[in-house]
Amino acid sequence: MALSRSAPRRRSVLVLLVLTSLTLITVDVRGGGGGPLRTLKDASADLFAPAQEAVDDALAPVADWFDGVFSAGDLRAENRRLRRRLDALEGRAARSRAALAENRQLRALARLPFLEDVPAVVAEVVAGAPGNFESTLVVNKGRADGVVPGMPVVTGAGLVGRISDASRRRATVLLITDRTSGVAVRLVRSGGTGVAQGRPGGRLRLEFVTAETPVRHGELVVTAGLQNSAFPAGIPVARVASVRRLPGELTKTIELTPTAEVGRLALVKVLQWPQPGGGG
């Protein structure tokens, strides 16, 4: 019963406080808000401040929801615009990187110290290997440009392969890493000679090197340039990756890593080197 009697009393006090605040506000507007009235007004504001803050906190999520509803469309449009701009910038950056890489390859092809006097044709790689049975590339120059089967193909890093077939405007390059490819080579330090034979996995194996020939890890291997050779002498081919000799064997097993990245080529140079027997 005490609780039921106190509830109407609290409501009466609240109504009285509201009326008092409204009266003070009216008097303050009319009289300029000075003196005791100002003091009462401030006290009333302090009294109602907690209630006002509670109302603001309760209504804040609702206001945020309405703001989100009305601004969602604008945000999605802005997001699409920013995404298109980002895609355009990424495309431009990719084209710039490709142009820089091509420029570096052109500069490297323009200064080949091992081929100063050999005429050549610069060609663009337009296709990779068609299957797993051979390692080939297709370039956009052919017989109409003076490219015929047998001609060596190089980059600034060294030997890539040789032309295996040519049409009027296209030619196929058999890479040195193909298992059917063999190149007569020479070890730069020792002078020993052998044959760099293509191996699976993008490597080469140096064969027909005697066990007495000193071979060092990292040693450069270049084309031997023997008489009537299909390749000029001194073209970098590979570096020694590993050397081992099994007991009882007369030769060493020498694995090589090509100096040219044959799987990542955009531009090459076809050497118009005289072919044994007149070429194709």
Which string of b and e fits 240-264 if b means at least 16 CB within 10 Å?
Answer: bbebeeeeeeebbebbbebbbebee
* The one-letter amino acid at 19: L
Output 92 or 79, whichever has higher pLDDT: 79
Nearest residue to 258 via CA among 171, 199, 191: 199
What gap in Å lies between CA 160 and CA 265, rounded to an integer?
A: 9
pLDDT at 2: 47
What gap in Å lies between CA 146 and CA 168, rounded to an integer?
A: 9
pLDDT digits (tens, 9 = 90+) for 188-239: 998 999 999 998 888 899 998 887 889 999 999 999 987 778 898 999 999 9
Per mean pLDDT, which range of 45-59, 137-151, 203-217 is the poorest? 45-59
Mean pLDDT in residue range 164-168: 95
pLDDT at 78: 77
pLDDT at 80: 79
Residue 113, burial from CB neighbour count under 10 angstroms (0-12, 13-18, 19+): exposed
What gap in Å lies between CA 175 and CA 243, rounded to an integer?
A: 23
Output 78 or 216, whichever has higher pLDDT: 216
CB of 172 within 8 A of CB of 152?
Answer: no
SS3 177: coil
This prediction has a pTM of 0.60
* The one-letter amino acid at 252: K
What gap in Å lies between CA 52 and CA 50, rounded to an integer?
A: 5
pLDDT at 7: 56
Q: Give the domains, in start order, of the chain with CATH numbers.
A: 1-110 (no CATH), 120-275 (2.40.10.340)
Cβ neighbours of residue 216 closer than 8 Å, sequence gap 6 or more: 189, 240, 243
What gap in Å lies between CA 182 and CA 238, rounded to an integer?
A: 13
